[in-house]
């Protein structure tokens, strides 16, 4: 009897509350691979143990075991989700535990369905769970506008393996992580040993080589005001934060570009001319990127604005991928038409989405890909612009995410976007972490979390377009289809062999 069968048999004799608690604990250990702990090896071990213990004798047992595994994972990985409800704790605090519980339990259903299908469709084949859990992560990245936060493959961002995202994006990392854990769990020497040897050989090759930054590289000034969310819109404190950013902008030598964070000005762009003029004076001729809300024909937009000399608005970009229930209510316009007022974004009840991804041309700097906060977590939406940009610039207000896991997980995803696209990333956050990230995902300079300040950082060079930048998700989706086909054929062949006379 195999180690896996022995362990499953003994584990199956335990009562469900105990087994469920074990799966929840293992799921939480898997999540320690996410930032800021970055214990990727713990994720591998915990996944392997989970694969050993998940029963494949019935679909029902497989489903609930996978669901409990997911509950533990998402509860720990998304623990920061309570932070937005604590900004105004007297009003919203009661919702914090419900938000975490419902999100964790809901996303865990994707894992439960994956384990159920592993039993029902793929007959418990050792590659069934890696394939189906990868598909579960792909599905939650897209369905209902998607939420690709804490993807399993993100546990590898702080390793050299993350460089493979240039070929297959985050879901290739997920498949590699799960496949390695499953081979370890199944003691597949024929797979695990070559994989381990290959990893030892390839690991040094994946290490990003030092890339010299040209002496004439543009200098970008990253401005971090460190405005706590509960004070950000206060009439008095908003002026303090604005003056702080003005001071940072006007210090020292003139940079080639100045970047302020998301919603940095506490007024609508429609009325911001005096503020823009002060900003331009402080910048002394350097172009400025700033986040500010604007109104147009009764609709409100979360905007990324390029300010030129004398405070002129040279160009702007409106956030395309909005946060459901945070920046708009899904179906709100339909509710408005049905007579339920106050929810329709098209009628002033929330933000309206912009008209699509594009590049902006910054005077004296070149084309850039603008991104606002939440948009940076969608790997498949970052590329695909008509012109290849020189850099990506992401402005965000991570004050909503608290002071623990949230800001660091958001930063890690920005690093992964840089690897996938082969482009440097300028990331400027209200409370941090603001950072310059090179095209291999390395942070070249940064301002720590919850500190006010600025840095002048040279823009690293871009790499040639990556496979992922050219083809997006198609390579990894094609690989999943091929692997599924092989596993299904093998599973059906085994069924026929077992059904044959004398078997």
Question: Does 157 lie in the same domain as 276?
Answer: no
Answer yes or no: do 309 and 445 share one domain. Answer: yes
Dihedral sign for Cα atoms in the order 171, 177, 180, 185 = negative
194 falls within a domain: yes
Q: Are residues 183 and 232 in the same domain?
A: no
- Say yes or no: 154 and 178 in one domain: yes
pLDDT at 192: 56
pLDDT beyond 80 at 12: no
In a domain, 265, yes or no: yes
Per-residue pLDDT for 423 more than 70? Answer: yes
pLDDT grade for 196, boundaries at 50, 70 and 90: low
Of 137, 232, 319, 327, which residue is the catalytic one?
319
- Indicate if 196 and 250 belong to the same structural domain: no
Average pLDDT over residues 57-63: 91
Residue 503's pLDDT is: 44
- Whether 262 is catalytic is yes
147-182 in b/e form (b: 16+ CB < 10 A) is bbbbbbbbbbbbbbbbbbbbebbbbbbbbbbbbbbb
209 carries an active-site annotation:
no
pTM above 0.85, yes or no: yes
- Beta strand 313-318 with 360-362: parallel, antiparallel or unpaired? unpaired
Answer with the residue of higher pLDDT: 257 or 96.
257
Tell me: do 430 and 479 sit in the same domain.
no
Give the total number of structural domains in the chain: 2
CATH number at residue 412: 3.60.110.10
Residue with tokens 């329709």: 344
Higher pLDDT, 208 or 92: 92
Asked if residue 50 belongs to a domain, the reply is yes
Q: Provide the 8-state DSSP code for 328.
A: B
The whole-angstrom separation of Cα 417 and Cα 13 is 45
Catalytic residue among 373, 375, 381, 473: 373
Let me know if residue 328 belongs to a domain.
Answer: no
333 domain residue, yes or no: no
For the chain, give the percent of residues with pLDDT over 70: 89
Pick the range with the lowest mean pLDDT from 20-34, 46-60, 486-500.
Answer: 486-500
Q: What is the mean pLDDT of residues 94-99?
A: 90
Residues 196 and 276 in one domain: no
Q: Are residues 49 and 161 located together in one domain of the fold?
A: yes
Alpha helices by DSSP H, 331-446:
332-337, 379-382, 405-421
269 and 157 fall within a common domain: no
Once rounded to an integer, what is the mean pLDDT over residues 304-330? Answer: 92
Domain range for residue 231?
219-320+355-469
- In this structure, the answer to whether residues 16 and 162 fall within a common structural domain is yes
224 and 78 in a common domain: no
- The verdict on whether 232 is a catalytic residue reads no
Instruction: Report the pLDDT value the prediction gives residue 490, as an integer from 0 to 100.
Output: 78
Q: Are residues 153 and 242 in the same domain?
A: no
- Least confident piece of the model among 54-58, 427-431, 436-440: 54-58
Task: Give pLDDT, residue 212.
Answer: 83
């Amino acid at each position: 009897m195999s180690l896996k069968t022995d362990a499953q048999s003994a584990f199956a004799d335990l009562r469900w509350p105990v087994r469920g608690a074990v799966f929840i604990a293992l799921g939480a250990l898997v999540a320690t691979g996410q930032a800021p702990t970055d214990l990727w090896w713990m994720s591998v071990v915990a996944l392997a143990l989970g694969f050993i213990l998940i029963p494949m004798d019935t679909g029902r047992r497989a489903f609930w075991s996978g669901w409990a595994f997911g509950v533990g994972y998402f509860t720990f990985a998304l623990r920061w989700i309570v932070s937005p409800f604590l900004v105004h704790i007297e009003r919203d605090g009661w919702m914090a535990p419900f938000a975490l519980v419902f999100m964790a339990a809901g996303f865990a259903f994707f894992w439960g369905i994956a384990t159920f299908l592993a039993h029902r469709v793929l007959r418990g084949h050792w590659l069934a769970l890696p394939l189906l859990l990868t598909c579960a992560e792909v599905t939650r990245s897209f369905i209902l506008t998607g939420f690709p936060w804490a993807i399993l493959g993100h546990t590898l961002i702080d390793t050299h393996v993350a460089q493979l995202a240039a070929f297959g994006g985050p879901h290739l990392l997920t498949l590699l992580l799960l496949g390695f854990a499953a081979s370890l769990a199944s003691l597949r020497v024929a797979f695990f040993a070559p994989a381990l040897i290959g990893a030892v050989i390839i690991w040094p090759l994946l290490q990003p080589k030092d890339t010299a930054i040209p002496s004439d590289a543009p200098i970008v000034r990253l401005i971090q005001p460190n405005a706590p969310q509960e004070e950000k819109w206060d009439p008095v404190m908003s002026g303090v934060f604005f003056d702080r950013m003005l001071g940072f902008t006007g210090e020292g030598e003139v940079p080639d570009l100045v970047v302020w964070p998301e919603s940095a000005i506490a007024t609508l762009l429609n009325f911001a001319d005096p503020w823009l003029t002060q900003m331009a004076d402080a910048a002394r001729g350097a172009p400025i990127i700033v986040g500010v809300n604007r109104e147009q024909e009764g609709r409100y937009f979360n905007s990324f604005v390029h300010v030129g000399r004398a405070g002129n608005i040279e160009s702007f970009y409106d956030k395309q991928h909005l946060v459901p229930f945070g920046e708009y209510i899904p179906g709100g316009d339909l509710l408005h038409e049905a007579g339920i007022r106050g929810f329709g974004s098209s009628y002033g009840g929330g933000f309206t989405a912009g008209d699509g991804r594009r590049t902006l041309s910054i005077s004296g700097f070149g084309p850039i890909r603008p991104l606002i906060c939440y948009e940076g977590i969608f790997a498949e939406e970052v590329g695909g612009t008509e012109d290849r940009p020189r850099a990506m610039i992401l402005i965000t207000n991570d004050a909503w995410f608290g002071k623990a896991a949230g800001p660091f997980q958001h930063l890690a995803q920005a690093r992964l976007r840089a690897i996938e696209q082969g482009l440097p990333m300028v990331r400027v956050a209200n409370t941090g972490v603001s950072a310059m990230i090179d095209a291999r995902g390395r942070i070249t300079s940064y301002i720590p979390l919850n500190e006010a300040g600025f840095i002048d950082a040279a823009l690293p060079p871009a790499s040639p377009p990556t496979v992922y930048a050219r083809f997006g998700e198609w390579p990894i989706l094609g690989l999943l289809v091929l692997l599924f086909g092989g596993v299904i054929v093998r599973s059906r062949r085994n069924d026929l062999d077992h059904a044959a006379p004398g078997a």
